[in-house]
């Protein structure tokens, strides 16, 4: 090697030395920087307020930061090198999720589980929820070496979520139950509405039916308040009183003096209703719209609700003007028939009328209704109507009648019945006449009825008949006098004559000054001087004094 060559090589070596020195300085510089950076990272990891750990692909923990140790309560020795399943991750989550299997998946494919939230366990056994961020760490050949996991405690958030979830579940449950209840209510309501509709229709139908009945009734129907204000009236009553509409009727009758002819009758009606709650056959007079008067008969009753509260008065009204005319005709006919008998038997003229007066007075004394007194009147006036069949010659012939004639005479009770039976009376007038000679003990005629089988009206007429017969003079004997007549019924009280009837009759004569008065063949006080020539025959208790009219004659 030449000197030049050696110098050149030495120069080359110096240059290489310089480059080496420079490279060494550079390396030192890089190593310093690396150490500095590592220090920075280490401090950053150690000081972080998050859990940072590294694990290998089998789940073995290779690094944990201080925060993680403090958080889980382990020392580094207790945890590093251990599998995270069984240390900080339970095998099963409280929810039932298989965390061991899940962690296997995370370790194999961390890229698919970059974020996950799962339950973790501390050393003391308490469970916490952690939100993990996972990142794969590759080796120099690009293969998965480790997984870096950064976790944050989300237990409170999870608990809040759970509370929220619970509240939500509770709310949903409540909503479901409420909805169910509402549905049930709705169904019930629909059912009730359907039922109500049915019952409303039924009510409507019944109301229509009722209205039809009320409207088609021949008799007047009304409802009034307690004070008497009309609230309902049917067409029949509107027409009966000559009004053109219910409204007109209601407006006009708001003033009672526009309806009642006699204000005291209205007061009487109210008095009876307040005492008895109802009244039947109450007769009064109403004004018609044109001012004419209409006799009417009313049935009225108070209507109460289920709790006994008064609702209204309801009543019916019938026109009795025809009835009053008929009654007058009947009275006139009765009078005429009565007269017809007495014309054939002048000796007993006025007998039926006087018997009737006494019988009516007894009936009134016994508190009979006006209608029943009226029946007693008619029966009294006709009780001897059957005598029309008794041959006139032995009614007018002087002298004593034979037994045979007496038997014919007795038939007048049945004959009277035969005459009257086909006439339609409200009361059994024919039957009363038939029974007027029956006696309480069955000794009477023609059917020998006894006790209660004899109508009370017949029992009254029989007493009146006997008293009148004995008290009045006869052409063949003087009057026996009222005292003897009263003795007769007193003596046979309860035997021949009804006890109550006798008592009423005695009260009339003894306490109330009843007198037959004059008229006919002479009354109690009108004794005929021609009448004293014959004395009545002696009679036993059972003798029938009412027949002295006939049998007493010589």
* Positions that interact with Fe ion (CB under 5 A): 384
In whole angstroms, the minimum distance from the beta carbon of 407 to Fe ion comes to 14
Q: Supply the minimum distance, in Å, between the C-beta of residue 380 and Fe ion.
A: 11
- Separation between Cα atoms, residue 200 and residue 360, nearest integer Å: 56
Minimum CB separation of residue 384 from Fe ion in Å reads 5
Q: Report which of 516, 488, 483 is spatially closest to residue 502, judged by C-alpha positions.
A: 488
Q: By C-beta, is 365 or 384 nearer to Fe ion? A: 384
Nearer to Fe ion, 384 or 438 (CB): 384
Give the closest residue to 251 by CA, choosing from 238, 235, 270.
Answer: 238
User: Whole-number minimum distance, CB 422 to Fe ion, in Å?
Assistant: 21
From the CB of 546, what's the least distance to Fe ion, in Å? 6
Which is nearer to Fe ion, 319 or 415 (by Cβ)? 415
Residue 489 C-beta: closest distance to Fe ion, Å: 16
> Which residues are bridge partners to 135 per DSSP?
148
Q: What are phi and psi of 313, to 5 degrees?
A: -95, 140
- Least separation in angstroms between residue 282's CB and Fe ion is 36
Q: Which is nearer to Fe ion, 384 or 468 (CB)?
A: 384
Cα–Cα distance measured from residue 474 to residue 496, given in angstroms and rounded to the nearest whole number: 23
| Smallest separation (angstroms) from Fe ion to the CB of 497 | 15
CA 150 from centre of chain: 79
Shorter beta-carbon distance to Fe ion: residue 134 or 546? 546
List the strands of the sheet with 61-64, edge to edge.
61-64, 51-56, 144-153, 127-138, 115-121
Q: What angle do CA 181, 187, 193 make, to 5 degrees?
A: 130
Question: Closest CB to Fe ion among 382 and 502?
Answer: 382
Instruction: Please tell me the distance from the alpha carbon of residue 43 to that of residue 284, in angstroms, as a whole number.
Output: 123
Question: Which residue, judged by CB position, is nearest to Fe ion in the bound state?
Answer: 384
Nearest to Fe ion of 236, 390 (CB atom): 390
SS3 88: coil
Kind and range of the H or E element at 316?
strand 310-319
Angle at 233 between CA 231 and CA 237, to 5 degrees: 150
The minimum distance between CB 545 and Fe ion, in angstroms, equals: 11
Nearer to Fe ion, 133 or 411 (CB): 411
* Shortest distance in whole angstroms from residue 436 CB to Fe ion: 6
| Residue the block writes with tokens 């209204």 | 312
Give whichever of 384 and 488 is closer to Fe ion, judged by the CB atom: 384
Nearer to Fe ion, 250 or 466 (CB): 466
In angstroms, give the least distance from the CB of 465 to Fe ion: 6
Return the SS3 of 268: helix
Report yes or no: 301 and 290 within 8 Å, Cβ to Cβ: no
- Tell me how far, at minimum, the Cβ of 355 lies from Fe ion, in Å: 9
382 neighbors 334 (Cβ within 8 angstroms): yes
Instruction: Assign residue 152 a region (left: φ > 0; alpha: ψ between -120 and 50; beta: otherwise).
Output: beta
Nearer to Fe ion, 259 or 496 (CB): 496
Distances (CA, A) of 528 to 67, 280, 464, 475, 533: 154, 47, 21, 8, 11
Spatial separation of the C-alpha atoms in residues 343 and 325, rounded to whole Å? 26
How far is Cα 167 from Cα 164, in angstroms, rounded to an integer? 5
**Nearest 5 degrees, angle CA 491-CA 493-CA 499?**
155
Which residue is associated with the tokens 């990142």? 135
313 or 417, CB closer to Fe ion?
Answer: 417
Inter-helix orientation angle 499-510/482-491, to 10° = 150
**Shortest Cβ distance from residue 464 to Fe ion (Å)?**
11
Question: By C-beta, is 342 or 384 nearer to Fe ion?
Answer: 384
The span from the CA of 109 to the CA of 54, in Å, is 15
* Per-residue tokens: 366: 């016994």
Fill in the DSSP letter of residue 477.
Answer: B
The least distance separating Fe ion from the CB of residue 387, rounded to whole angstroms, comes to: 7
- Our CB check for Fe ion shows the closer of 372 and 437 to be 437
CB-based burial of residue 198 (10 Å sphere; 0-12 exposed, 13-18 middle, 19+ buried)? exposed
Gap between the Cα atoms of 345 and 395, Å rounded: 6
> Which of 168, 171, 167 shows the shortest CA–CA distance to 179?
171
């Amino acid at each position: 090697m030449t000197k030049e060559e050696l110098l050149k090589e030495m120069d080359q070596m110096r240059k290489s030395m310089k480059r080496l020195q420079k490279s060494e300085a550079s390396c030192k510089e890089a190593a310093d920087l690396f150490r500095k950076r590592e220090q920075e990272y280490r401090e950053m990891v150690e000081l972080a307020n998050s859990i940072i750990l590294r694990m290998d692909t089998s789940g073995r923990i290779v690094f944990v930061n201080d925060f993680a140790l403090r958080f889980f309560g382990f020392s580094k020795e207790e945890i590093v090198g251990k599998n995270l399943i069984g240390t900080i991750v339970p095998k099963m989550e409280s929810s039932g999720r298989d965390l061991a299997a899940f962690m296997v998946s995370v370790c194999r494919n961390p890229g698919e589980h970059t974020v996950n939230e799962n339950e973790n366990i501390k050393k003391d056994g308490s469970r916490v929820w952690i939100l993990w961020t996972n990142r794969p760490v590759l080796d120099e050949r690009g293969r998965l070496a480790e997984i870096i996991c950064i976790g944050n405690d989300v237990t409170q958030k999870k608990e809040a979520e759970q509370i929220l979830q619970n509240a939500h579940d509770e709310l949903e449950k409540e909503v479901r139950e409420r909805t169910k209840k509402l549905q049930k209510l709705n169904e019930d309501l629909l059912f009730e509405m359907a039922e109500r509709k049915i019952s409303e229709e039924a009510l409507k139908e019944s109301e229509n039916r009722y209205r039809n009945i009320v409207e088609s009734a021949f008799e007047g129907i009304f409802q009034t308040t307690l004070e008497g204000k009309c609230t309902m009236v049917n067409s029949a009553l509107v027409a009966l009183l000559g009004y053109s509409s219910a409204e007109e009727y209601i407006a006009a009758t708001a003033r009672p003096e526009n309806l009642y002819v006699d204000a005291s009758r209205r007061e009487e009606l109210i008095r009876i209703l307040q005492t008895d709650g109802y009244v039947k056959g109450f007769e009064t007079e109403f004004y018609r719209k044109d001012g004419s008067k209409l006799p009417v008969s009313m049935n009225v009753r108070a209507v109460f609700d289920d709790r006994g509260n008064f609702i209204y008065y309801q009543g019916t009204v019938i026109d009795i003007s025809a009835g009053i005319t008929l009654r007058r005709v009947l009275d006139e006919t009765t009078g005429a028939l009565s007269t017809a008998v007495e014309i054939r038997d002048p000796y007993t003229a006025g007998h039926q009328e006087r018997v009737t007066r006494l019988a009516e007075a007894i009936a009134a004394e016994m508190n009979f209704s006006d209608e029943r007194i009226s029946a007693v009147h008619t029966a009294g006036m006709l009780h001897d109507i059957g005598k029309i069949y008794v041959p006139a010659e032995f009614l007018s012939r002087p002298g004593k009648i034979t037994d045979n004639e007496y038997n014919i005479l007795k038939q007048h009770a049945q004959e009277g019945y035969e005459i009257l039976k086909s006439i339609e009376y409200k009361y059994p007038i024919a039957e009363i006449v038939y029974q007027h000679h029956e006696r309480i003990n069955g000794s009477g005629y023609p059917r020998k009825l006894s006790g209660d089988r004899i109508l009370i009206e017949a029992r009254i007429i029989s007493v009146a008949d006997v008293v009148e017969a004995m008290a009045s003079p006869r052409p063949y004997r003087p009057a026996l006098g009222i005292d003897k007549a009263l003795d007769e019924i007193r003596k046979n009280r309860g035997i021949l004559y009804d006890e109550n009837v006798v008592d009423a009759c005695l009260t009339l004569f003894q306490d109330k000054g009843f007198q037959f008065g004059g008229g006919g063949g002479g009354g109690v006080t009108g004794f005929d001087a021609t009448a004293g020539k014959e004395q009545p025959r002696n009679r036993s208790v059972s003798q029938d004094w009412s027949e002295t009219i006939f049998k007493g004659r010589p």
